[in-house]
Amino acid sequence: MTEFVQLEVDGSVATIRINRAPVNALNEQVQEELREAATACTRRDDIRVVILWGGEKVFVAGADVKEFHTMSAQDMQRRAADLSSALDAVAHIPKPVIAAVTGYALGGGCELALTADFRISADNAKWGQPEILLGVIPGAGGTQRLPRLIGPAKAKDLIYTGRFVAADEALELGLVDAVVGADEVYPTARAMATKFAAGPALALRAAKAAIDGGLDTDLGSGLKLESHLFAGLFATEDKQRGMASFIEQGPGKAQFVGN
């Protein structure tokens, strides 16, 4: 059992629940517990979709500044790679991941949300990368994932100024995918997760690998990756089920089994 990050599995949907009062600050222990939860989600075949959730009041308000304040440059040189790789472990979960965000997703919280495939935001949530106001820069993926998501100029605006972004602007920027009432954030994420969980697990894994891998390479290499993953799915039972169902009943009626 971990202290601040719980992995709750209901059917084939897992919820990684950050629970470190009062604002779920990402100290070193939380980072390592996130890594542990992400590793479990990656390895467990019974888990098909993952929700990141900080509770009804706050997602993650940022890193633990008090912990950072006591660290020297030498301390952070030893720790920085582990900080980044802890969130990388979430980004590399080979299944759909949905961030359900209430309250604040700032600094490390925004960076954690950026590791997800989709972000559902409460209408009163605040987003941002305010590290510049502390005299540093985002150090857990913000300078890399944010510009890939919303473009370099918009990302530079948020990172250079450190300003907070309201949910409606976050939606306009493309930082979030949906804005709902605070009490609807987790149910909305859960409904999305349930839909994905009923899909063909290996095809969803391949789609994520093709998209994420293609974004990190040139077009030609991405197309080769896509072709390789596409061909491999012809060995799956879900391919047989999906195509047979399409021929016999039309689209959208296949019952997938996940292999």
Q: Is residue 80 part of a domain?
A: yes
Q: Where in the sequence is the domain holding 216, given as residue range(s)?
A: 201-249
The residue out of 158, 175, 197 marking a domain boundary is: 197
Residue 254 lies in a domain: no
The DSSP 8-state label assigned to residue 107 in this structure reads T
Sign of the dihedral defined by the CA atoms of residues 253, 259, 88, 10, in that order: positive
**Would 256 be classed as within a structural domain?**
no
pLDDT of residue 192: 97
Total number of domains constituting the chain = 2
Q: Are residues 177 and 69 both part of a single domain?
A: yes
Same domain, 49 and 98: yes
Say whether both 236 and 158 belong to one domain.
no
Catalytic-residue membership of 131? yes
In a shared domain, residues 120 and 177: yes
CATH, residue 150: 3.90.226.10
Which pTM value belongs to this model? Answer: 0.94
Asked whether residue 109 falls in the same domain as residue 39, the answer is yes
Same domain? For 245 and 124 the reply is no
Mean pLDDT by runs of 10 across the 259 residues of the chain is: 92 97 94 96 97 97 82 81 91 98 97 98 98 95 97 98 98 98 98 96 97 95 96 96 94 92
Is residue 106 assigned to a domain?
A: yes
Q: 32: which residues sit within 8 A by CB, 6+ positions away?
A: 82, 86
Separation CA 142–CA 256 (nearest Å): 36
What CA–CA distance (Å, rounded) separates 91 from 146?
A: 13
Judgement on whether residues 41 and 133 belong to the same structural domain of the protein = yes
8 Å CB contact between 13 and 49: yes
Predicted confidence at residue 122, as pLDDT, reads 98
Instruction: Look at residue 257 in the predicted model and tell me its pLDDT.
Output: 93
Q: By CB neighbour count within 10 A (0-12 exposed, 13-18 middle, 19+ buried), where does 231 fall?
A: exposed
Using an 8 Å Cβ cutoff, are 46 and 92 in contact?
A: no
Q: 230 in a domain, yes or no?
A: yes
In this structure, is residue 75 part of a structural domain? Answer: yes
CATH number of the domain where residue 242 is located: 1.10.12
Catalytic residue among 3, 32, 36, 131: 131
3-state secondary structure 168-217: HHHHHHCCCCEEECHHHHHHHHHHHHHHHHCCCHHHHHHHHHHHHHHHCC
Considering the domain architecture, whether residues 138 and 50 belong to the same structural domain is answered as yes
- What pLDDT, on the 0 to 100 scale, is given for residue 143? 97
209 and 127 part of one domain: no
Do 113 and 215 have their domain in common? no
Evaluate whether residue 257 is within a structural domain. no
Catalytic residue among 28, 111, 172, 184: 111
